[in-house]
Amino acid sequence: MGLSQEALAAAMGLTFQQVQKYERGANRIGASRLFDLARALGVGVDYFYQDMGEEVAAAGARRMTHHVEEAPLRQTSLMDSSETRDLVQAYYSIGDPRVRRRVHQLAKALAAVSGQ
């Protein structure tokens, strides 16, 4: 994401050693700290869970030690994915509106061809 541990730590009000512990898995990260991390990285909290397989979710820490009622997993919308955010960010970083319009037309044409 382009941030050093030091920069991320500063953005979260932590030491870089604490960020290292989170990164290595030496310390668990609480919900409020996860929220802080998401804000520092400019992503939603769901970013950290979107590629989690059902088998990983089913083997979560609470499920290993307690019986937890299993709610149906929410299907992630295309608008919530990091790929969509990256694409939109790249699209709007194109400064020339004419070029941006051509990229839009190209994407629509490619989608139409791949749908056949």
Mean of the pLDDT values across residues 64-75? 58
Distances (CA, A) of 23 to 20, 28, 38, 42, 50: 5, 10, 14, 18, 18
The pLDDT assigned to 80 comes to 72
pTM: 0.48
Q: Where are the domains of the chain?
A: 1-76, 77-116
Q: How far apart are CA 6 and CA 111, in angstroms?
A: 42
Q: Are 44 and 80 in contact (CB under 8 A)?
A: yes
Judge contact between 21 and 27, C-beta under 8 A: yes
Taking alpha carbons only, the member of 10, 45, 15 closest to residue 31 is 45
Q: CA–CA separation, 29 vs 37, rounded Å?
A: 10
pLDDT tens for residues 80-102? 778 888 888 888 899 888 999 99
pLDDT at 61: 58
* 90 against 2, higher pLDDT: 90
pLDDT on residue 52: 76
Task: Pick one of 3.30.420.40, 3.40.50.720, 1.10.260.40, 1.10.3720.10 as the CATH number of 1-76.
Answer: 1.10.260.40
pLDDT exceeds 90 at position 106:
yes
